[in-house]
Structure 1
Amino acid sequence: MEQLFTLDSLFTLLMLVLLQAVLGFDNLLYISLESKKAPAEKQSFVRRIGVGLAIVLRIVLLFALMSLIQYFQNPFASLRDNGIFEFELNVHGLIVLGGGVFIIYTAVKEIWHMMMMNEHEVAQKDVRKGSINTVIFWIVIMNLVFSFDSILSAMALTSHMEYVPQLILMSIAIILGGILMIVLADKVSNFLQKNRMYEVLGLFILLIVGIMLLSEGGHLAHLYLFGNPITPMSKTTFYFVIVVLVLIDIVQGRYQKKLLAEKQHREELLNKTKDSK
């Protein structure tokens, strides 16, 4: 227990909280978008309950991974000597692949609803009648999917510690990271609510998150397509793509405002010319 009160442990705790924040960005975006399916007055409540339950289950998952990590990594099904499709599936890979497929489905469905605005409005009315439990359920499930990477990374950062201090330190980091996520999820959701134009950007980022999870799950499952291995998308590449998308959105928005201003100016000149005649 003396390990918990050293300068090294405090620094490690800080690194763990930062790790939870950095790796939790994609999860934060999903929570913000998913919670919009609930009635407006219940959305903050849904986010807090969803993340709160996920924190408890994350700690349970942490204990499970510490004890059963080898069973999550050991393959239970495989297909070899096939020139088209090969894999060596394990529990970890299956969970990440399933999460990737679900997020891509969610993003594509919401983008389609945006394009079909009338159908989207009707669908929203139907969904908000009694979907609070469903929204909370999916927030908790996807939070657990996203937590695998952060917990495994946290285990690597604290591997030099003894078992009990390691568990306590990671549990504290999960709780602090969850509280931070609750606060930021409200802020992100409020921002998206006030700036609806960024909703499309958020959905396309979510789509990239799903692709990243698919690549990670394919790598964990040792998936080969036509003899080529599936390699995971690095976090560096992920954040670079996000920065590029945000910059494109900013430039496009400003350019669109400029075009609208020029159009309005031409219309005003045309109206003045007509009035003078």
Structure 2
Amino acid sequence: MDELLTLANLGNLAVLIFLQAVLGFDNLLYISIESQRAPLESQKSVRRWGILIAVAARIILLFVMVNLIEALQAPFFSINLPGFIEGEFTFAVLVFLFGGVFIMYTAMKEIGHMMAIEHLGTDIEDKGRKSAAQVVATIVLMNLIFSFDSVLSALAITKVFALLALAIILSGVAMLVLADGVTEFLKKNRMYEVLGLFILLIVGVVLLGEGGHLAQLKLFGYSVDAMSKTTFYFSVVVLVLVELVQSRYQRKLAAERKAVAGNKVAH
């Protein structure tokens, strides 16, 4: 125990907690949006059980990766068609590519659903078409995909399993505390749900880029490069700022139109 409570390990733990918090943002966003597809009476328990099972699965994933990291880096297969597609596909590459495609599909499907509805009050009810078990399974699966990148990043900081597991547990506790609040905020402010879906769309692009980079993938002779985390978070900040400015501007326009309409009635 004393060996764990060294200054270096405590410093690493602080960095790991910060890393899990930053990288867990998109995970929490996905959980909040996906949980609304469960029956209304089950949504709170879906979020709770989804997070708890996902944390346990992440610790198992961490244990496997700590002990089998070299084996997981070995290519499963490679494709060599010069001028068309080239790359070596490892387990990590397949996880990133599958996760990126799935997240982009989910975000685009949800955006399409929002564009297709005629009455805004009915789309929340329509999201209950999945069972609670299906939503929990989806949350756990996507949590593992989201956490794959954070686990790889954490292993670059330290390979002390106890510290890594503790950081995962603490991030899970934070998600349990915040999940209901984030979901309620999105329900009351539907415009931010659209923003969240576009952020998830960018997350899917990031995962595809990460997978392509790890695979040293070349498409039509051009290398696929990973999007830096700085670029990703800058893009998210820009999206949020645009949404805030636009919503404030729309409220100002609505107030001015109401004032003009009131003056016309008075005259």
Asked if TM exceeds 0.5, the reply is: yes
Give the residue type in structure 1 aligned to 2:172: G
Structure-2 residue corresponding to 1:216: 210
Listed as ranges, the matches of 1:36-185 within 5 Å are: 36-118=36-118, 125=125, 128=128, 131-159=131-159, 166-185=160-179
3-state secondary structure, aligned to 1:189? helix
How far does the alpha carbon of each residue in 1:42-74 deviate from its partner, in whole angstroms, 9 at most, with x for none? 212111101101111111111110111122211
Paired with 1:129 and 1:181, the residues of 2 have a C-alpha distance of: 25
The verdict on how the C-alpha distance between 1:119 and 1:109 changes in structure 2, with shifts beyond 3 A counting, is farther
Structure number, greater radius of gyration: 1
> What TM-score do you get using the length of structure 1 for normalisation?
0.91
Give the residue type in structure 2 aligned to 1:156: A
3-state secondary structure, aligned to 1:80? strand
The answer on 1:264 being equivalent to 2:253 is no
Paired with 1:249 and 1:126, the residues of 2 have a C-alpha distance of: 26
> 141-150 or 116-125, which moves further after superposition?
116-125
Structure-1 residue corresponding to 2:198: 204
> What TM-score do you get using the length of structure 2 for normalisation?
0.94
How far does the alpha carbon of each residue in 1:158-190 deviate from its partner, in whole angstroms, 9 at most, with x for none? 14xxxxxx1111111111111112212222112
Paired with 2:257 and 2:119, the residues of 1 have a C-alpha distance of: 32
How far does the alpha carbon of each residue in 1:50-104 deviate from its partner, in whole angstroms, 9 at most, with x for none? 1101111111111110111122211121122510211211110001110110100
Structure 2 contact 36–128 (Cα < 8 Å) conserved: no
Structure 2 contact 212–225 (Cα < 8 Å) conserved: yes
Report the alpha carbon displacement of residue 130 of structure 1 after superposing the two structures with TM: 5.4
Paired with 2:146 and 2:201, the residues of 1 have a C-alpha distance of: 15
Paired residues in the alignment total 267
RMSD over equivalenced CA pairs, Å: 1.8
How far does the alpha carbon of each residue in 1:221-258 deviate from its partner, in whole angstroms, 9 at most, with x for none? 22111211111111111110111011111111111112
The verdict on how the C-alpha distance between 1:120 and 1:210 changes in structure 2, with shifts beyond 3 A counting, is farther
Paired with 1:263 and 1:7, the residues of 2 have a C-alpha distance of: 61
Structure-2 residue corresponding to 1:163: none
Paired with 2:72 and 2:65, the residues of 1 have a C-alpha distance of: 8
Give the residue type in structure 2 aligned to 1:243: V
Listed as ranges, the matches of 1:241-252 within 5 Å are: 241-252=235-246
Paired with 1:121 and 1:94, the residues of 2 have a C-alpha distance of: 39
Please list every run of 5 or more consecutive structure 2 residues that lacks an aligned counterpart in the other structure. Answer: none
Structure-2 residue corresponding to 1:240: 234
List 4+ stretches of structure 1 deviating above 6 A.
Answer: 119-123
Please list every run of 5 or more consecutive structure 1 residues that lacks an aligned counterpart in the other structure. Answer: 160-165
Paired with 2:260 and 2:136, the residues of 1 have a C-alpha distance of: 51
